[in-house]
Amino acid sequence: QVQLVQSGPEVKKAGASVRVSCKASGFTLDNQHINWVRQAPGRGLEWMGWISTYEGNTNYAQNLQARVILTTDTSTKTAYMELRSLTFDDTAVYFCARGWKHFDPWGQGTRVTVSS
């Protein structure tokens, strides 16, 4: 079964960093685009960036590029999203998703809560 399985919920203080993992099952991460998308409570989807495992290239949303780092470990079929200098506005569910023009499958989502 082709799926992406993400790590569990996180609670972080403002100013801290968070790292979310996304493990592929049923396929390898070779020659793939892995995207990260977040959704604040009651809000829409916000694309954060993608990483290409083929060349190791990344492309980030302009408003996040100073704070987000996407990496992959093809040996463990795991992608990672690290977001630094967290603020309350970063409270959201974070999804990973495979693909370039369209995303399929998606991970189940990881809830990140930023508190004071």
Partner 1 sequence: QSALTQPASVSGSPGQSITISCTGINSDVGGHNSVSWYQQHPDKAPKVVISDVNNRPSGVSNRFSGSQSGNTASLTISGLQAEDEAHYFCSSLTATDTVVFGGGTKLTVL
Task: Please report, as ranges, the residues that interact with partner 1 according to CB under 8 A.
Answer: 35, 37, 44-47, 49-50, 59, 61-62, 95, 97, 100-104, 106-109
- Please list, in sequence order, all residues whose beta carbon lies within 8 angstroms of the beta carbon of residue 75, skipping any fewer than 6 positions away: none
3-state secondary structure (DSSP) of residue 88:
helix
Q: Where are the alpha helices (DSSP H) in 1-116?
A: none
State the nearest-atom distance from the C-beta of 29 to partner 1, in Å.
Answer: 19
Neighbouring-strand partners of residue 3: 25
State the nearest-atom distance from the C-beta of 6 to partner 1, in Å.
Answer: 9
Q: Which is nearer to partner 1, 22 or 83 (CB)?
A: 22
State the nearest-atom distance from the C-beta of 104 to partner 1, in Å.
Answer: 5
